[in-house]
């Protein structure tokens, strides 16, 4: 377990929102590729999306007033 200071939680949350957008674009681009089928090729981006959402679930999707430190199990959110 590690504690993430409140100031860093805000930045981490912003980075994770960006990561979600990047993954969504990656999947949308693959879906628009002619002849591309939804298959095992999608498993890694979908897994990254799921892990990112799980971390946001842990730190909170929205800012708190005032923002609080957050404890995270790094082994659980390693990838």
Q: What is the pLDDT of residue 56?
A: 94
- Reduced DSSP (H G I as helix, E B as strand, rest coil) percent helix, strand, coil of the chain, to 5: 60, 10, 35
Q: What is the pLDDT of residue 53?
A: 94
Domain boundaries, the chain: 2-72
Q: At what angle do helices 43-59 and 6-32 cross, to 10 degrees?
A: 160
pLDDT, tens digit, for every residue of 28-74? 877 776 666 666 567 788 899 999 999 999 899 988 878 888 888 87
Q: What is the pLDDT of residue 66?
A: 81
Q: Are 55 and 74 in contact (CB under 8 A)?
A: no
Residue 55 makes CB contacts below 8 A (sequence gap 6+) with 16, 72, 77
Closest CA to 27 of 43, 5, 8, 12: 43
């Amino acid at each position: 377990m590690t504690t993430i200071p409140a100031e860093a939680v805000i930045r981490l949350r912003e980075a994770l929102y960006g990561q979600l957008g990047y993954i969504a674009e990656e999947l949308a681009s693959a879906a628009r590729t002619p002849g591309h089928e939804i298959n095992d090729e999608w498993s890694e981006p979908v897994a990254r999306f799921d892990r990112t959402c799980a971390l946001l679930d842990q730190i909170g999707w929205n800012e708190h007033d005032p923002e609080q430190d957050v404890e995270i199990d790094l082994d659980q959110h390693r990838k």
